[in-house]
Amino acid sequence: MKKLLISSLFLILITTTCKTNDNMNSNPLLSKWNTPHQTAPFNTIKVEHFLPAIDISIENARAEIDAIVNNKNVPTFENTIVALELSGNKLSRIASVMYNLNGAETNDELQAVARDASPKITEFSNYVSLNEALFKRVKVLFAKKDKLGLNPEQAYLLENTYKGFVRSGANLEGDDKIKYAKISTELAKLTLQFGENVLAETNAYTLHITDEKELAGLPDGVIEAAAQFAKSKEKEGWMFNLQFPSFYPFLKYADNRELRQEIYMASASRAHKDNAFNNEENIKKIVSLRLDMARLLGFDNYAEYVLEERMAQTPEKVNAFIEDLHNASRPFAKKEFKEVESIARKEGFEGTLERWDWAYYSEKLKAKKYGFNEEEIRPYFQLEKVQEGIFSLTNQLFGLTYKENKAIQVYHPDVNAFDVFDENGEFLAVLYLDFFPRDGKRGGAWSGDYRPQSNINGNSIRPIITVVCNFTKPTETKPSLLNFNEVTTFLHEFGHALHGMMANTVYPSLSGTSVYWDFVELPSQIMENWATEKEWLDQFVEHYETGEAIPTKLLQKMIASKNFLAGYSSDRQLSLGMNDMAWHTITTDITESVADYEKKAMQSTELFPLVEGAATSTAFSHIFAGGYASGYYSYKWAEVLEADAFSVFKKNGILDKATATSFRKNILEKGGTRHPMELYVNFRGQEPTVDALLEKNGLK
């Protein structure tokens, strides 16, 4: 996912003007952006522009807050709540560029700037959230909310604003306020450092092979990509790294078990070695500070604090949800493990099956069960064709069209920018697509925004959305050819993008993906379903060289294998949720090692021997450097929602326009303007049940 978050609710705002400053003429971040759709002028932005621009924009933002506070008029929804929505835009715009670049195209200099800027932005956030006079105005309005004649979205915004202040320490007094500010500032630094350490460790490792015999088992495309990577580093032979398109195929296909173990351990021990990038102490400090923050705000633990504003509501409900799915998944996971172990024995493997053996022998089991090797489908999933297929799918469902706009400046040559139009031909959004791994990009895939949608006082601001992935790169002889996982990842992130692009709210803080964290994955995960729908695949899937349609038998094998190792995969995902909840339900500081603590948390899902030196948590950026703390369960929670929701498409037709329109009007357009269960029931007609998910995954 996931969405890139800025430090404060008040920083995700819309375009307004700020005070002029002499530096505005020389700093492109501060000047008016005379670019298509006011997109960022990446060609002229330099790293040294960020800190001065942030300092000036913070000064302007403080002045805007002071103007609200010093307003002598009686507090009204317009002069207080709407004014807050309109404040701090310049800072929001600059910070969004910096944080997006720091994830997708960073370097040592930008990381240093982000480390300096993050505490400043957090301090401004605290200036807003801990501002007694400002909170007093909000409280006055909240106390008489039922008498203000507000429409539902306005009422929801007022409630969210009030809760935002309370949850950010506005009711604290004296030393507690000071302590809260210190904690939030320190957390901003630590979470940023955590992510930097993971990126540094990821980039630090390469596996350099010069003996061609050690490539045995690897597909030709993987070997060619490794040769191209070595050539780019001015090395002979072949090179692999820890980016997923390089790392995972090596684990899946390489016959050399010692090298599989080496590359696995390089990944599994990231930020867990005795060096400058070790994240163990960062984790302990982060969870300790989060506990301190929760206690200051009246909660027993951090998970209680987070889940107060989630569909799940409490740690007890989350743990029960995880346990129920674990109980359903575990028998299947054990059975699947024995099947993989059995095929390994038949292949002549002796000894204990280890984690670096799993992908290798799983692939052999898949080939035996389904006659299907995932590499067989790559030639039929050329990235450009998949992109066309997704564009066509969203056109059929929602009427969207896409036109590449080369006048929009991009931050890297790999990035393409598109104007997106609605079915009536009106401009809807800007969409950046950034597909390939590089040293300056963190791992994984996510969608975020440079600007959210809003429509205050009839001033319609359309969103600027980004999708960032790490797909298999093209080689000298082949275009980018995707595996099934990459196709589903593309669909997943595009679902987030749709949530942002089709937003249709008034207020930016309620727009797009600004929803409960265990609801935000519904639009993304429901899109994954089309990856195994023949009716859609038949429209665009063809061999990249011959143009021939994918053989029906091969397509049927791919679809039939979609639930391969479903129990194991489910339990693996649940284990990460268990780990997350264990870290964030602590009531005392952690004194044992990170490895020992997470071992206890995930013990009930283990199938393999423990590996000395490996750790999940030290590279678990979702919860220690992203927005998923106490929320990793939300992937499974959203699976329940999306399986139930997609059953409507299955019933009415996977390309049924009426069903898609209902999903758009009730879910995608509404953002966070209503409680998510209300939105879901408006679409589905009932609350979801887990049955559809269990049936979909073959676990019932």
Parallel/antiparallel/unpaired status of strands 464-468 and 454-456: unpaired
Mean pLDDT computed over 524-530: 98
391 & 465 share domain:
yes
Q: Taking the C-alpha atoms of 590, 592, 594 and 595 in order, what is their torsion angle to the nearest 10 degrees? A: -150
236 & 158 share domain:
no
Q: Which tops the pLDDT comparison, 681 or 15?
A: 681
- Mean predicted lDDT score pLDDT of the chain: 94
Final residue in a domain of this structure, among 516, 544, 573: 516
394 & 501 share domain:
yes
Angle between helices 257-268 and 355-370 (to 10 degrees): 120
Does this model's pTM top 0.85? My answer is: yes
Mean pLDDT computed over 138-143: 98
450 & 401 share domain:
yes
Tell me if 486 is assigned to some domain. yes
With cut-offs at 50, 70 and 90, classify the pLDDT of residue 9.
very low
Mean pLDDT computed over 343-354: 96
Q: How far is Cα of residue 646 from the mean position of the Cα atoms in its chain?
A: 21
Count of residues making up the chain? 700
CATH number at residue 120: 1.10.1370.40
Note down the domain range covering 498: 379-516
The alpha-helical segments, DSSP class H, found in 70-107 are 83-86, 89-104
User: What percentage of the chain carries pLDDT values higher than 90?
Assistant: 94
For residue range 81-110, list pLDDT tens digits in order: 999 999 999 999 999 999 999 999 999 999
What pLDDT score does 697 carry? 86
Considering its fold, how many domains does the chain have in total?
A: 3
255 & 392 share domain:
no
* Cβ contact 180:211 at 8 Å: no
The helix/strand/coil state of 429 is: strand
Tell me if 109 is assigned to some domain. yes
Tell me if 566 is assigned to some domain. no
Our answer to whether residue 224 is catalytic in this structure is no
Reference 382, options 467, 483, 244; nearest CA is: 483
Which one is catalytic: 486, 493, 521, 669? 493
What pLDDT score does 24 carry? 53
For residue range 241-274, list pLDDT tens digits in order: 999 999 999 999 999 999 999 999 999 999 999 9
Instruction: Spell out the residues 6+ positions from residue 331 whose beta carbon is closer than 8 angstroms to its own.
Output: 567
Tell me if 149 is assigned to some domain. yes
With cut-offs at 50, 70 and 90, classify the pLDDT of residue 8.
very low
144 & 235 share domain:
no
Final residue in a domain of this structure, among 234, 251, 268: 268
The Cα 238–Cα 215 span in angstroms is 9
Identity of the amino acid at 474: P
The Cα 385–Cα 7 span in angstroms is 37
87 & 37 share domain:
yes
408 & 472 share domain:
yes
Final residue in a domain of this structure, among 516, 546, 563: 516
Q: Is the pLDDT of residue 390 over 70?
A: yes
Tell me if 389 is assigned to some domain. yes
Q: Is the pLDDT of residue 569 over 60?
A: yes
210 & 97 share domain:
no
101 & 249 share domain:
no
Instruction: Spell out the residues 6+ positions from residue 660 whose beta carbon is closer than 8 angstroms to its own.
Output: 397, 398, 649
What pLDDT score does 25 carry? 62
Q: Is the pLDDT of residue 127 over 90?
A: yes
CATH number at residue 428: 3.40.390.10
Tell me if 633 is assigned to some domain. no
393 & 495 share domain:
yes
66 & 137 share domain:
yes
Tell me if 398 is assigned to some domain. yes
What pLDDT score does 6 carry? 33
Tell me if 249 is assigned to some domain. yes
With cut-offs at 50, 70 and 90, classify the pLDDT of residue 691.
confident
